[in-house]
Amino acid sequence: MLEALGYEFFRNAILAGVLASVACGIIGSFVVVKRMVSLSGGISHASFGGIGLGYFFGFDPIAGAMLFCIATAALIARLRSVAHQHLDTLVGAVWAGGMALGIMLIYLTPGFAPDLFGYLFGNILLVPSADLFIMALFVLGIIIVTGIFYNYFLAVTFDEEYASVMNIQSGKIMTILLIMTAITIVMLIQVVGIILVIALLTLPAAIAREFTGNLKKMFYLSILTGIFFTTTGIFLSYGLNVPSGATIILLSVVVYLIVICLKDIGQKIFTE
């Protein structure tokens, strides 16, 4: 399978996987520790509304997804401060509303919607070189913003009420964090698609959390885990001639289940 590295599209896929893994390792760690999986799910599925806007108005669907995701993230950040016990229901409404809007706009768009399957389930083997440059810029931005606001993110992630008492504007910090989550989600659309994006965003970080409680160590471990999943998944999908996105996610799920099971067995052995 190493002969596949001779193809530019395959090398692009590997690089896209590495870049996506870096973003997932950082943002996914915050999502897992803060337990924002449902919020992230709402943002990811709402992005389909942006895909529909792109088709309907004739511009790049990924650009539409980016704008729609950022707007959705800002809306959810606002809802967090006013909704309280109704937040899950409102996130579900945003989740379903975005998907429904995308379906409606694509239906109303004249002609056939090309690449729709790719947006839903991803196709990392078709990532062009120009998109790699854009992904790299986004990853660099995520790293810089995280470095600048790390202490604020740390405080808000572990104890938002305490952060507010310490005069940290937790609402604004959470808005920034959710917008960065939205950007990461859009990056992942081409890798694994809208349907599977939450798994790749959270599973590497969830596995890393089983080995360390230190957030910075979680970053590094989840990045390495994500790179393993994406790279191995791409090679497996190439060799088996199966969809790459689904292969990456299935590998992630299997490893996660193995880690959970082994940890549970280990705890039982040492407690008996």
As a three-state string, the secondary structure of the chain is: CHHHHHCHHHHHHHHHHHHHHHHHHHHHHHHHHHCCHHHHHHHHHHHHHHHHHHHHHCCCHHHHHHHHHHHHHHHHHHHHHHHHHHHHHHHHHHHHHHHHHHHHHHHHCCCCCCCHHHHHHCCHHHCCHHHHHHHHHHHHHHHHHHHHHHHHHHHHHHCHHHHHHCCCCHHHHHHHHHHHHHHHHHHHHHHHHHHHHHHHHHHHHHHHHCCCCCHHHHHHHHHHHHHHHHHHHHHHHHHHCCCHHHHHHHHHHHHHHHHHHHHHHHHHHHHC
Domain housing 36: 2-271
Question: Residue 73's domain is classified under what CATH number?
Answer: 1.10.3470.10
pLDDT digits (tens, 9 = 90+) for 68-85: 999 999 888 888 777 665
Q: pLDDT band at 92, cuts 50/70/90?
A: confident
Domain count across the chain: 1
Residue 84: per-residue pLDDT: 61
Judge whether residue 265 has pLDDT over 80: no
Percent of the chain with pLDDT over 90: 49
SS3 labels along 215-265 = HHHHHHHHHHHHHHHHHHHHHHHHHHCCCHHHHHHHHHHHHHHHHHHHHHH
pLDDT at 8: 87
* pLDDT value for 75: 86
85 φ/ψ angles, rounded to the nearest 5 degrees:
-70, -15
Q: Supply the pLDDT for residue 259.
A: 93
Whole-number Å distance between alpha carbons of 136 and 18: 10
pLDDT in tens, 122-152: 888 888 888 899 999 999 999 999 999 999 9
Q: Is 128 left (phi over 0), alpha (psi -120 to 50) or beta?
A: beta
Does residue 16 have a pLDDT over 80?
Answer: yes
